Structure 1
């Protein structure tokens, strides 16, 4: 299972999401510090809300297999700008929580996530668990394991390690005739 790093504003639903993903009963807990559980890293919202602490987001992103921007569907503003993708060297996904809110504006939050560079966006409701199974399926689908040579080859093409090779492109063979 991929290790996921959750970042977002206070009260976006990050901690509730971790409880829903583990099948636990939801109960409010204020995240006071970064929790690095088995397959999840849950950060305090203040890290995303303060320039002073935001460097912590970059640091923790290196400990994860996938980074998730978590935003509630009724968010009044966006914390993640168009260049958010620049500091993250992992797959970046978006998770929209509180999709049942009467003030939800899912198209707007979805657009914010697309602008930030999210490769895939999930819509979840932590209370009813709507969308949780789809997110779990994504997390259970492990990333491909590459050799150093394969990773360097992808990098030479301007690809990330998780990006598929373009159609018709294959890994070069070593002199021994074995693909790298």
Structure 2
């Protein structure tokens, strides 16, 4: 499976998405340092929000195959500059989170991600599970067996 690094401001849903991708129960957990899991790198929002910490994101990106830029569907603005995708020598995808919120505007969030240069955009609700399997399918490589496929092969 491709390794993904999740980047976004505080509250974007990086840790929640990490829990959903791993099939864990969704619980609130404030990420205070970079969590390096087997195929997921979960970064603190402060790294994307603070110029002095942003350099760490560049260093950790070398350990990932895919960079996932997250933006909450209810955000009033984007923290990402336009056209940053060419600056990254990894695949970069956009992830619109919290699409199930009442005040969500996923189309606006997708527009902001497209302005960064993201061509592949996923719409996610970690609460309902919508879109989570799409990301897992995207990260899947030849020969990988997803947890739900293991059950099918046993039958």
TM-score normalised by the chain length of structure 1: 0.77
The CA distance in 1 between the partners of 2:42 and 2:93, in whole Å, is 15
Segments of 4+ in structure 1 off by > 2 A? none
Note the 1:65-84 alignment, pairs <5 A.
65-84=65-84
Determine the structure 1 residue equivalent to 2:37. 37
Structure 2 SS opposite 1:53: helix
**Greater share of residues in helix:** 2
Provide the rounded CA distance (Å) in 1 between the counterparts of 2:138 and 2:54: 26
Query: Structure 1: 5+ residue runs without aligned partners?
Result: 143-180
Give the count of matched residue pairs: 142
Per-residue deviation, 1:28: 0.6
Q: Please list every run of 5 or more consecutive structure 2 residues that lacks an aligned counterpart in the other structure.
A: 143-155
* TM score, norm. by length of structure 2: 0.89
Higher relative contact order (Cα pairs below 8 Å, separated by 6+ residues): 2
Q: Does 1:22 align with 2:58?
A: no
Q: Which residue of 1 aligns with 2:97?
A: 97
Supply the RMSD in Å over aligned alpha carbons. Answer: 1.0
The answer on whether the counterparts of 1:5 and 1:64 sit within 8 Å (CA) in structure 2 is: yes
